[in-house]
Amino acid sequence: MCSNVNIKTIYLPCIIYKSMIINMFLNKITKIIKPIVFQNYMLKKTFHRSVTKFTWKQPFINDPIEKELQSDKKYLYGNNSDTALQYNCSLNIHCNSHPLRRSGIICTIGPASADVKILEGLMDAGMNIARLNFSHGTHDYHLKTVENIRKAVKSYSEKIGRNYPLAIALDTKGPEIRTGVLNGKDASKEIKLNKGDTLRLSTDKQYENKGSNKLVYVDYENITKILKENDRIYVDDGLILMKATKIGENYIDCIVENEGMLGSRKGINLPGVAVDLPAISEKDKADIQFAADNDLDMIFASFIRDRCAVTEIRNMLGERNKHMLIISKIENHQGIQNLQSIIKVSDGIMVARGDLGIDIPPEKVFLAQKSILAQCNIAGKPGICATQMLESMTKKPRATRAESSDVANAILDGADCVMLSGETAKGHFPIESVRTMDKICREAESAMWRKEFYHDMVASLKLVNAM
């Protein structure tokens, strides 16, 4: 016997509603099928993973547009086609997108968005998860940000007359190499590097906060031991390329091979060079303890290479903090190779395309994105797509056409969340960036060929009784 699924129980974005795994299936599958037997099956399979209830995991009560969910079909763009080509032909740009977004939006909170009023604006625009990037800032700085976020949630909830479900995530620095701080107090300060310039990378800590266009600190002491002359060095997700020309005891002289703007604490990648960094650094351990002490909701674990790092973090959190979710960031080739085992011990996976696109060829990143998100879908674990999604909106009020397509295709690939980084952390248009992403996500969700997705999931999971 078939029956309509009660969509009221599944409309919130994946990571912000009850158990992430339950929501993954109820959000992505039960919303597109009718057999109640399938819903019961998934509940039995996943309910034991439910975690302690938090306010950000509760559904809105008496939402004024809840009634729109009952007429869900009118927001589906394509007709009931038999093939992908037929379905794409039937898509209609004049249809309205669904008023409720089912995917989540993660916003990185930084100098441009840490103010309470701006945070309220981000929530009003559609922010679901506030991300704190611990590659930057001190614990005191982030504690103030957490306090502002909670003030903003309380204030905005009172304003709209219901609790606003917002999660707070801590993104670890991870076993990565970063530059130091540029000389000056402005956190968003940048210096211009021109092609042919000579730049010295120093491991001398006296230069940690004195970066210039002549010398920049690097926080990896052994970099002078593992690099050779003529080795390539990628900075800031590969935006700046340098070549090592001279290696001293505590410095490397480089020649800049392309023009670019360099900011503070930017990541450094050394493709093809083996580094001896620990999976969980001492800084990461202190930051994870900060998350536990301040009752944050999830950890975005950077540069996860195997399941051992995830297990180590979970052991650190202990029984008292078992409610905290661990999202593993896949940022290198080793993480892709060990993805299946990482998925099993993680609460979710992030496709961190910036560093990933340096460790593997850039033209292969879209393949990795599709594969990782598909494996997350089959495993019932939320998948997040991140990096440069609306990058141009850091300085401009409108996204490029390519960026709009990128966000939409991430949703069509099966992403449960999409993430904004510099757009909301340091950009000039943080609220507009979230509004833009919200509109694109709703359009993409309405354009998804749900019939195909349902049959793919049933076939992949061998759920013959759901047909």
Q: Based on the fold, state whether residues 323 and 204 are members of the same structural domain.
A: no
Q: Based on the fold, state whether residues 169 and 292 are members of the same structural domain.
A: yes
Per the listing, tokens 């050394």 go with: 270
As a whole number of angstroms, the distance between CA 385 and CA 387 comes to 7
pLDDT at 61: 44
Do 334 and 303 meet the contact criterion of CB atoms below 8 Å apart?
A: no
The CATH number assigned to the domain holding 367 equals 3.20.20.60
In a structure prediction context, what are the per-residue pLDDT tens digits for the chain, which is 467 residues long?
333 333 333 333 444 433 444 444 444 444 444 333 333 333 333 333 333 334 444 444 445 444 544 455 555 666 677 888 888 888 888 888 888 899 999 999 999 999 999 999 999 999 999 999 999 999 999 999 999 999 999 999 999 999 999 999 999 999 889 999 998 655 567 899 999 999 999 999 999 999 999 999 999 999 999 999 999 999 998 899 999 999 999 999 999 999 999 999 899 988 878 788 888 999 999 999 999 999 999 999 999 999 999 999 999 999 999 999 999 999 999 999 999 999 999 999 999 999 999 889 999 999 999 999 999 999 999 999 999 999 999 999 999 999 999 999 999 999 999 999 999 999 999 999 999 999 999 999 988 887 777 778 888 877 655 55
From 245, 269, 293, give the residue that closes a domain: 269
In a domain, 63, yes or no: no
Measured CA angle at 415 (ends 360, 294), to 5 deg: 95
As a whole number of angstroms, the distance between CA 250 and CA 222 comes to 9
At 106, list the tokens.
């993660």
Do 443 and 154 meet the contact criterion of CB atoms below 8 Å apart?
A: no
In a domain, 203, yes or no: yes
As a whole number of angstroms, the distance between CA 225 and CA 245 comes to 14
DSSP 8-state class, residue 114: -
In a domain, 466, yes or no: no
**How many domains does one find in the chain?**
2
Q: Based on the fold, state whether residues 324 and 430 are members of the same structural domain.
A: yes
Q: Based on the fold, state whether residues 288 and 402 are members of the same structural domain.
A: yes
As a whole number of angstroms, the distance between CA 77 and CA 56 comes to 31
Nearest CA-CA partner of 188 in 125, 124, 245, 111: 111
In a domain, 78, yes or no: no
Residue 396 backbone phi and psi in degrees, to 5: -125, 150
For every residue of 234-246, DSSP letters joined together read EETTTTEEEEEEE
Task: Point out the residues that are catalytic.
Answer: 131, 178, 329, 387
Residue 461's identity, in one-letter code, is L
Q: Based on the fold, state whether residues 208 and 170 are members of the same structural domain.
A: no
In a domain, 162, yes or no: yes
pLDDT at 448: 85
Tell me the whole-structure pTM to 2 decimals.
0.77
As a whole number of angstroms, the distance between CA 10 and CA 29 comes to 10
- Measured in whole angstroms, the distance separating CA 66 from the mean position of its chain's CA atoms is 27
* Helical pair 307-317 and 282-293, crossing angle rounded to 10 deg: 40
In a domain, 344, yes or no: yes
Strands 198-202 and 215-217: parallel
Per the listing, tokens 């759920």 go with: 463
In a domain, 140, yes or no: yes
At 224, list the tokens.
């002078």
As a whole number of angstroms, the distance between CA 339 and CA 304 comes to 9
At 32, list the tokens.
């597109």
Nearest CA-CA partner of 259 in 174, 192, 354: 192
Contacts of 138 (CB under 8 A, 6+ apart): none
Q: Based on the fold, state whether residues 198 and 307 are members of the same structural domain.
A: no
As a whole number of angstroms, the distance between CA 67 and CA 460 comes to 33
pLDDT at 328: 98
β-bridge partners, 216: 201
In a domain, 45, yes or no: no
Q: Based on the fold, state whether residues 330 and 392 are members of the same structural domain.
A: yes
Do 101 and 113 meet the contact criterion of CB atoms below 8 Å apart?
A: no
The CATH number assigned to the domain holding 205 equals 2.40.33.10
In what order do the strands lie in the sheet containing 198-202? 177-178, 267-269, 232-235, 240-247, 251-256, 198-202, 215-217
Kindly report the number of other CB atoms within 10 A of residue 27's CB atom.
24
From 269, 293, 316, give the residue that closes a domain: 269
Kindly report the number of other CB atoms within 10 A of residue 165's CB atom.
21
Q: Based on the fold, state whether residues 426 and 308 are members of the same structural domain.
A: yes
As a whole number of angstroms, the distance between CA 246 and CA 211 comes to 19
Q: Based on the fold, state whether residues 146 and 225 are members of the same structural domain.
A: no
Q: Based on the fold, state whether residues 129 and 161 are members of the same structural domain.
A: yes
Q: Based on the fold, state whether residues 186 and 152 are members of the same structural domain.
A: no
As a whole number of angstroms, the distance between CA 273 and CA 41 comes to 47
For every residue of 185-244, DSSP letters joined together read S-TT--EEE-TT-EEEEE--GGGTT-B-SSEEEBS-TTHHHH--TT-EEEETTTTEEEEE
At 379, list the tokens.
């495993």
As a whole number of angstroms, the distance between CA 202 and CA 29 comes to 52
From 224, 244, 269, give the residue that closes a domain: 269
Q: Based on the fold, state whether residues 302 and 381 are members of the same structural domain.
A: yes
Full residue range of the structural domain in which residue 225 is found: 177-269
